[in-house]
Amino acid sequence: NAGVTQTPKFRILKIGQSMTLQCAQDMNHNYMYWYRQDPGMGLKLIYYSVGAGITDKGEVPNGYNVSRSTTEDFPLRLELAAPSQTSVYFCASSYLGQYQETQYFGPGTRLLVL
């Protein structure tokens, strides 16, 4: 298993540009999450999904959009990038049945908005 994969690893955007951060998992997990981590700070939940076709807002959703058309993929869309969106973005997945299971993280995407 590749686990959770993310592309790209690093990207520089100009203010106002748009981009999509890709995330995929091959563990058949039903739950997927997007977090952002600012330098020296904790993880803030942006959006999460409980299954294909279902997404919900986290703590800091403004400026982002997500979709979940398949179990495996959970892309994060940034529209009109702003300097405040400079951060490291982590995708994660887990299985939730009767109990919450271990959450696995991808390697992260480092985004710089100038």
- According to DSSP, the residues that pair with 14 across neighbouring strands are none
Interface residue with another protein, options 90, 93, 109, 113 (CB under 8 A): 90
Site for another protein in 20-79 (CB under 8 A): 31, 33, 35, 41-45, 48, 50, 56, 58-59
Q: What is the DSSP letter of 84?
A: G
The CB-of-80 to another protein minimum distance in angstroms stands at: 26
Q: Give the full edge-to-edge strand order of the sheet including 76-78.
A: 4-7, 19-25, 76-78, 64-66
Helix (H, G, I), strand (E, B) or coil at 83: helix
Q: Tell me how far apart the alpha carbons of residues 71 and 63 are, in angstroms, rounded to a whole number.
A: 24
Please tell me whether residue 11 binds another protein under the rule CB under 8 A: no
Q: Which residues bind another protein (CB under 8 A)?
A: 31, 33, 35, 41-45, 48, 50, 56, 58-59, 90, 92, 94, 96, 99-100, 102-108
